[in-house]
Amino acid sequence: MIRTDNLKQPLRWGQIGGGKGSQIGYIHRDAAQRDRNFKLVAGAFDVNPERGRAFGVEELGLDADRCYDDYKQMIEVESKREDGIQAVTIATPNSTHYAISKMALEHGMHVVCEKPLTFTAAESEELKEIALKHNRVFGVMYGYTGYPTIAQAREMVKRGDIGKVRIVHMQFAHGYHAEEVEKNDPGLAWRVTPEASGPSYVLGDIGTHCLQMGHLISGMEMDSLSCMRKSFVESRQLEDDAHVMIRYKNGAVGTLWCSAVAVGNVHDFKVEVIGEKGTIRWWDEHPNQIEYAPLGEPFRKLDRGMGYLHDAARFERIGGGHPEGLFDSWANLYRNMGHAMIAADNDAQQELASIWFPGIDDGIEGVRFIERCVESADNGSQWVNV
């Protein structure tokens, strides 16, 4: 699933958002540059241009004239330079993803964007069309998908190791916001503010992660759903907890739970796929293992890097036993996206199609899921088609 070879030359790469104090900005830079597949040469890191420029020059060693005031300036100037950036990463609040992505694509840049991708599914669909028209790669950063264990789980389902899928359970539950922690913290406040965050909080922020992972591993397509959402912290305008029941197109069923009020948890992000002949479980907190039970046998823990895994899962960076972490998963994804960008540049469409990475379709599915959940939840949790 993930390639093990690196690009011959790093792609020239810029970043929008992700400046001083941003964790997400740091992990994007780390992952992209980890194996010399991308080289950061430009940025518009901050809504405050001065602060953004200082960050780029002092912390990252960029040339001052490639630290821009805002994304518009950056995309315009860089797109005219001979050595201008070939790809851009967007690590800004949700409300800005659509406009920035659109402009970057139309100026010939490959895009890597944070999720949830846009406020509406229609916007995401439009971005897909633009990307196709311009033959640009559009990566959406579902960053947990780059682990070898995920590749193993996918391969097992694909090969029929667990038979026909019957049940998919997805959850991403933490307890960080069990109280009104956003009260004096603007960095948190935007997440529960519709203007910046869109129509949902936990459904978009974490629910889309487990939804995408469940889809990735199981391959199931949703048919209809029913959603309950609640703001347990009453001052919140957006939900901090949601439960969803799902009917899939082939007769399978599923559930999804996302919560920011699950006291005691740090990342109870889990996916369980139950088939006729076996069950697979994955848990984000210990991503180097998956649990697998074939019919009539007990659960066992499979470990990354071991000889009993399928070949598709053998792209570890360090031997089994030594734990890999989220940075390694992200770097794997950027590597594949880099290869995809080169393929697109060469118009090697067949090769492009063969390179897996979380992309615009994952982005669209996530936004559509949010829309339908909100529709259901706000109408007495009635069932809605997806």
Site for its own copies in 225-284 (CB under 8 A): 226, 228, 230, 232, 241, 243, 245, 247, 251, 253, 255, 257, 259, 261-267, 269, 274-279, 284
Long-range contacts of 280-289 (CB under 8 A, 24+ apart): 280/153, 280/156, 280/157, 280/162, 280/217, 282/149, 282/150, 282/153, 282/213, 282/217, 284/144, 284/172, 287/144, 287/147, 287/149, 287/324, 287/325, 287/326, 287/329, 288/147, 288/149, 288/323, 288/324, 289/149
Distance, in Å, from the CA atom of 142 to the CA atom of 330, rounded to the nearest integer, reads 9
Q: Which residue has the tokens 């899939």?
A: 248
Compose the 56-75 pattern: x for residues touching its own copies by CB under 8 A, - for all others. Answer: ---xxx--------------
Please pick, from the candidates 21, 133, 286, 353, the single residue that binds its own copies as defined by CB under 8 A. 286
In order, the DSSP letters of 286-322 are STTEEEEEETTS--EEEETT-TTS-GGG---SS-TTS
Q: Any contact of residue 323 with its own copies (CB under 8 A)?
A: yes
DSSP code at position 6: P
Please pick, from the candidates 4, 322, 346, 378, the single residue that binds its own copies as defined by CB under 8 A. 322
Q: Any contact of residue 20 with its own copies (CB under 8 A)?
A: no
Judged by CB, which is closer to its own copies: 23, or 235?
A: 23
Smallest CA-to-CA distance from 337 within 130, 37, 100 is with 37
Three-state SS at 122? helix
Distance, in Å, from the CA atom of 67 to the CA atom of 297, rounded to the nearest integer, reads 58
As a whole number of Å, the CA-based R_g of the chain is 21
Q: Any contact of residue 23 with its own copies (CB under 8 A)?
A: yes
Beta bridge partners of 278: 294
Judged by CB, which is closer to its own copies: 210, or 274?
A: 274
Judged by CB, which is closer to its own copies: 137, or 333?
A: 333
Judged by CB, which is closer to its own copies: 12, or 36?
A: 36
Report how far apart, in Å, the C-alpha atoms of 156 and of each of 295, 300, 358 are.
14, 14, 19
Stretch in the footprint of its own copies (CB under 8 A) among 112-120, 289-297, 337-345, 348-356: 289-297
Beta bridge partners of 117: none
Q: Any contact of residue 317 with its own copies (CB under 8 A)?
A: yes
Q: Output the smallest distance, CB 71 to its own copies, in A.
A: 25
| Cβ(87)–Cβ(11) below 8 Å | yes
Stretch in the footprint of its own copies (CB under 8 A) among 47-55, 70-78, 81-89, 288-296: 288-296
Judged by CB, which is closer to its own copies: 128, or 304?
A: 304
Please pick, from the candidates 48, 346, 354, 382, the single residue that binds its own copies as defined by CB under 8 A. 382
Q: Output the smallest distance, CB 232 to its own copies, in A.
A: 5
Distance, in Å, from the CA atom of 18 to the CA atom of 7, rounded to the nearest integer, reads 24
Find the binding residues for its own copies in span 110-169 (CB under 8 A). Answer: 162, 166-167, 169
Please pick, from the candidates 20, 327, 345, 351, the single residue that binds its own copies as defined by CB under 8 A. 327
For the record, the structure tokens of 254 come out as: 């599923």
Q: Output the smallest distance, CB 108 to its own copies, in A.
A: 26
Q: Any contact of residue 30 with its own copies (CB under 8 A)?
A: yes
Judged by CB, which is closer to its own copies: 274, or 360?
A: 274
Q: Output the smallest distance, CB 339 to its own copies, in A.
A: 16
